[in-house]
Amino acid sequence: MDNLKRFLRSPGRIFPTLLSLLWPFWSCLSPDTYRPIAGSNAELVELLEKVRREYNQPAMGAAIIHNDRIVAEGVTGVTVLNETRPVTPDSRFHIGSTTKGMTALLIAIMVKKGELKYDSTLSDVLTDIPMRSEYARVTVRDLLLNRSGLLAFQNPIFEDPVHMEKLRTEIPARYRDARSQRRAMAEYVLNLPPQYAPGSRSVYSNVGWSILGLVAETVVGESYEDLMHDEVFTPLGMQSARIGGWPADDGDRSQPRGHYAQTEGPRAQPLDDEYRLPLWMNPAGGVHCSIHEYALYARENLLGLRGQGRLLAAGEYREIHSIQNKVKASEMYLGQDNDSVINLGYGWAVLPGGDGLLSVADGSGGTFYARVIVFPWLRTAYVGFTNSGNGEPALSASIKALTGLDWN
């Protein structure tokens, strides 16, 4: 149960408090004069290594996109703390809930193709899954904005342990593949009473995002995982990206292992660790990829907002990256007492900054930490990750060190 508490952090959790502090700084920046500090791979790695050491991270990776191209990228550190195997540019790190933005991108591609609508309902799509009447009119947009009424599966302290055990242990034990798990998960949760009236609130839901994966695979007839590879990863050149499990396992011990955050320092996650995210949850947080692949994803969003993307038109990207809903953090996250307002896009937190908006997403399953930020008006984006669950402060420091953009 302790490991279950280390669930995926959401886009937006840490960002509302930054608005008043950073607005004066961001508003002074000009795309004509702004340049990131790290202008080459060597410069980036040198600066990133200083941050890694200061914050006691086993390994870190980061990349900077500026004026349409990846100007600097790199990794530094070791796959396992206190061991000697270094991470490489091909090392895959788990990116947690920043996967949700990728799932939103897949949904948008399906909408563009006419395979789905944002207003399509669960009863329209999941025709062979019995569900309570309250869920019948829940739309794809409701799922994207966390207002479906479904179980959250985000904080076991505040959720029914019977449901947590069913979703975390029983369904994965009975069904071995991700698609079968998602269907079993849906059959279970769609017949539970709603946590609130669908559409009336927004409560961050890993279940809801996973239902989106089921919606996609039901419409097309391919698994969510195959669809992501076909529609997103392959067109963007993310050939080595994977979905499900941790980067390192008995089949590939060379990949980075995650580390639990502890008072005495990070503790490496055993290869046979019983804690792992269930496969049904892949659309909510299952992707692991290299730093270059993560940068390609950020670059696509940056270019897409200017009408130069490969996958969608500018208006379709703006749909993802515009403010679709506003919600208090205390409502969004179980157990939070912070009433700061979060602006939600589809899988992103959206903040005012400079001449327009910027989009941010954080993700962590408890043993890695990842962040992606898109600054459209500066024609700049940042991606970073660590293989430790306490990597957030290190990533914030790396943003300032590599880009000169204050993020503290």
Residues 195-230 pLDDT 10s? 999 999 999 999 999 999 999 999 999 999 999 999
Classify burial at 370, counting beta carbons within 10 Å of its beta carbon; exposed 0-12, middle 13-18, buried 19 or more.
buried
Per the model's pLDDT, the better-predicted residue between 27 and 112 turns out to be: 112
Residue 20 has pLDDT above 80, yes or no: no
Residue 288 to residue 183: CA distance in whole angstroms: 23
Annotated domain spans of the chain: 3-265+275-403
Do 389 and 367 form a contact (C-beta atoms < 8 A)? yes
- pLDDT of residue 18 exceeding 90, the answer is no
- Residue 118's SS3 state is coil
Q: What is the average pLDDT across 105-127?
A: 99
283-327 tens-digit pLDDT: 999 999 999 999 999 999 999 999 999 999 999 999 999 999 999
Check residue 19 and give its pLDDT. Answer: 40
Three-state secondary structure call for residue 358: strand
Cα 127 to Cα 149, 281, 290, distances in angstroms: 19, 21, 38
- Which residue do the tokens 């969608």 mark? 312
pLDDT score for 355: 67
How many residues does this entry show for the chain?
408
Which positions ≥6 away from 300 have C-beta within 8 Å?
Answer: 236, 309, 310, 311
Closest CA relative to residue 117, chosen from 43, 219, 253: 219
How sure is the predictor about 157, in pLDDT bands with cuts at 50, 70 and 90?
Answer: confident
Which of 6-10, 30-34, 145-149, 322-326 has the lowest average pLDDT?
6-10
- pLDDT value for 155: 83
Over residues 32-46, mean pLDDT: 96
Q: What pLDDT shows up at residue 14?
A: 34
Assess whether pLDDT exceeds 70 at residue 23. Answer: no
Give residue 32's pLDDT: 85
The larger pLDDT score, comparing residue 407 to residue 375, is at 375
Choose the weakest-confidence range: 51-65, 122-136, 335-349.
335-349
Mean pLDDT (the chain, rounded): 92
Q: Identify the weakest region by mean pLDDT among 4-18, 132-146, 367-381.
A: 4-18
pTM score: 0.94
Q: Residue 408: which pLDDT band, with cuts at 50, 70 and 90?
A: low
CA–CA distance, 37 with 46 (Å, rounded to integer): 12
> Under CATH, which number does the domain 3-265+275-403 receive?
3.40.710.10
Q: How far apart are CA 372 and CA 329, in angstroms?
A: 20
Band of pLDDT at residue 403, cut at 50, 70 and 90: very high
Is the pLDDT at 24 greater than 60? The verdict is no
Place of tokens 């059959």: 187
| Cα gap 349→346, rounded to integer Å | 8
Sign, CA dihedral 214-156-387-360, equals positive
